[in-house]
Structure 1
Amino acid sequence: MNTATKLSGFALGLAVVFGTTYGAGQLAGPVAEVRVDDHRDDGRHDAADPATTEHDDAGHEADSPDGQLPGGLLVSDRGHTLVPVATAAGEFAFRITGPDGKPVTAYDISHDKRMHLIVARRDLSGFRHVHPQMSPDGTWRVDSPLDGPGTWRAFADFIPTGGEPLTLGVDVTVPGELTEVPLPAPASSTTIDGYTVDLTGTPQPGRSTTLTLTVSRDGVPVTDLEPYLGAYGHLVALRKGDLAYLHVHPEGAPGDGRTAPGPRVSFATEFPTSGAYRLYLDFRHSGVVRTAEFTVQVGDPGAVAAPEDTVPDDGHGTPGHEHD
């Protein structure tokens, strides 16, 4: 059952990290949270002080076998920090500071872009994937992808030149009356704007698994998918509870002489723990990027939310929209 909640002018949800990093001090650092209020008279956002880290309600006590955290759980990692920037209403802005505390201005291109900004509400609805533009001072700006009230998780996915790939995350709260969206039950098929996307593959925690998504339209396989971000599909997975971020890599690439432009797009995946995950597949066809969404259960079904917290997938996914 949906629950309506009034979000006031301060951030309500705390970003969470795994129990294995709770109290890790220099590793984890603070997990920041930001209030976004488009109704201020001066049209600017507020930035709250960093919040204290807490255990994940989902009770994750361990992560990947190599001890590495999934992305997006930390606001600061390997000397780099995601710093939200106050800006005009209707805009979202941030900087990445480096080990010297100064804004980073040099980035490598990854998946055709130097910066990927992914946002999702903490109930795993409202997913958006956009690409900000950087000013000379290292500030990244984009029209705000935060579509409505709620506590959102914003992920900056990038590679600083000369460094390792990083995904940093911060919570942002948009005040207003919020209606929680229950997590849809696991399903192997969904539809979006007349396209049907079928999912095959059985992910297991800590093991490499190939997931294949097959796109059709009106019952006819789509064999002319268009490249998007250097592939025929782009997949993000978020874990229910802490929103651990998994940026999944496609198998093959357009123009490599062996990867067909549909109807199947395959991804090498490794989910670190049991639990419920939400998958978001971006694909482009006829010049429009659409997002197909799935809930998958990895490993122990006991990690799924209680039955009253799930509803059957309505098969509509996220309304189609163009990506930047």
Structure 2
Amino acid sequence: MNTSTKLGAYALGLAALFAGAAVVGDVAGPAPEKASERTAAHNTHGGAGPDDGAGHGGGGQTAAPVPGGLQVSQGGYTLAPKTVTLEPGKKTDFAFSVNGPDGRPVTRYTTIHGKQLHLIVVRRDMSGFQHLHPVVNGAGVWTIPLTLPDPGAYRMFTDVQPEGVKEQFTLGADLTAPGDHRPADLPEPVQVAKVDDYEVRLAGALQPGRTSRLTLSVAKDGEPVTDLEPYLEAYGHLVALRSGDLAYLHVHPDGEPGDGRTRPGPEITFYAEVPSVGTYRLYLDFQHEGKVRTAEFTVVAGGASAPQQPATGGGGHGDDGHAH
């Protein structure tokens, strides 16, 4: 092949590359208040990883981002549990660290929604969800009393932002509770979940690859709740996990308490982006009358709308499983 032919083929290759990137980067349909900015402000799916100033962050990378929580190590930071086997049903003094690029535990963090670190634990069948807040000592070791209620394989996730890192990210690691493991069936998609005397109604649908608006309305004994209490600097927190690999998405609501426009219920609005078609489990934490409760939903992204019947099982839980 002569030189001119080689150059022509190279130019055609570049043109095809940029055309493909334009197609992938095109988000169909407008979203309120610039979807990309809202997603960046409210989503924590850890896809790009921490930006350490050495080209290891998310901006400008050509590789597709990895969903959060799928990696135990990312951008030089590693989640290091002291043990990965816990006796089922027994409270254990669980300890772990987040080790930095130098191999030593990180001791300085940026606060995220009132806490330096958020810990999520869930069984791999997506049951037994726990949103916890451990404490850290001066050596960078985090500890919390943790109970894995039933035998099985579990996943732990940590939302963190070490000091000096530009963005928060999510690391994940597997835990095991030995014994006779009987996976629970994933509840069917519903639009109303019940927890204690509360009903939470979900409106909206997840659309893969674009920002989706989800509105959750809280009622108690059939009456709208209009006095939700701030919990971790918001009226609600939403975690989404993808069935199969437990890809993690942590989103926060539109607005915040005290901003002059966000009402304390009954509606809490979220903007979320999921990476693919599939089944997801949503976990909404909200606080009312001094207690944090969790409403749970199964949602199919890119599929048909959920039916209108209330959840009959696995719909949520109260403070059990929380350490707020």
- Shorter-chain-normalised TM-score: which range? 0.7 to 0.9
Q: Is the 8 A contact 1:72 1:169 kept in 2?
A: yes
Higher helix content, 1 or 2: 2
Q: What residue in structure 2 maps to residue 292 of structure 1? A: 295
> What's the CA shift for 1:202?
1.5
Letter in structure 2 aligned against 1:123? D
> What's the CA shift for 1:313?
3.9
Q: Is the 8 A contact 2:156 2:172 kept in 1?
A: yes
Distance 1:198 1:188 in 2: 6
Q: Is the 8 A contact 1:189 1:197 kept in 2?
A: yes
Q: What residue in structure 2 maps to residue 70 of structure 1? A: 67
**Structure 1 unaligned residues grouped into runs of 5+:** 1-26, 29-64, 302-311
Higher strand content, 1 or 2: 1
> What's the CA shift for 1:180?
1.2
Residues 153-172 of structure 1, C-alpha deviation per residue, up to 9 Å, x if partnerless? 00011111111211000010
Q: How does 1:170-249 map to 2 (within 5 A)?
A: 170-249=173-252
Letter in structure 2 aligned against 1:142? I
Q: Structure 1 300/174 Cα, relative in aligned 2: closer, same or farther at 3 Å?
A: same
Q: How does 1:25-44 map to 2 (within 5 A)?
A: none
Distance 2:63 2:202 in 1: 28
Aligned CA-pair RMSD: 2.0
Determine what percentage of the aligned residue pairs are the same residue. 54
Q: Is the 8 A contact 1:224 1:261 kept in 2?
A: yes
Distance 1:95 1:146 in 2: 19
Q: Is the 8 A contact 1:130 1:145 kept in 2?
A: no
> What's the CA shift for 1:289?
0.1
> What's the CA shift for 1:66?
7.3
> What's the CA shift for 1:146?
2.1
Query: Aligned with 2:262: secondary structure?
Result: coil
Alignment partner of 1:83 is 2:114: no
TM-score of the pair, normalised by structure 1 = 0.74
Q: Is the 8 A contact 1:186 1:294 kept in 2?
A: yes
> What's the CA shift for 1:300?
4.8
Length, aligned pairs only: 252
**Structure 2 unaligned residues grouped into runs of 5+:** 1-47, 50-61, 305-309
> What's the CA shift for 1:297?
0.3
Letter in structure 2 aligned against 1:133? V
Distance 2:289 2:157 in 1: 28
> What's the CA shift for 1:299?
1.1
> What's the CA shift for 1:319?
2.6
Q: Is the 8 A contact 1:119 1:145 kept in 2?
A: no
Distance 1:237 1:145 in 2: 22
Q: Is the 8 A contact 1:82 1:169 kept in 2?
A: yes
Q: Is the 8 A contact 1:222 1:262 kept in 2?
A: yes
> What's the CA shift for 1:250?
1.1
Q: What residue in structure 2 maps to residue 62 of structure 1? A: none
Letter in structure 2 aligned against 1:95? S
TM-score of the pair, normalised by structure 2 = 0.74
Q: What residue in structure 1 maps to residue 317 of structure 2? A: 319
> What's the CA shift for 1:244?
0.2
Q: Is the 8 A contact 1:128 1:145 kept in 2?
A: no
> What's the CA shift for 1:316?
5.1
Query: Aligned with 1:142: secondary structure?
Result: strand
Letter in structure 2 aligned against 1:114? Q
Which shifted more, 190-199 or 158-167? Answer: 158-167
Distance 2:323 2:191 in 1: 24
Q: What residue in structure 2 maps to residue 10 of structure 1? A: none
Query: Aligned with 2:260: secondary structure?
Result: coil
Q: Structure 1 117/145 Cα, relative in aligned 2: closer, same or farther at 3 Å?
A: farther
Distance 1:128 1:260 in 2: 27
Letter in structure 2 aligned against 1:152? Y
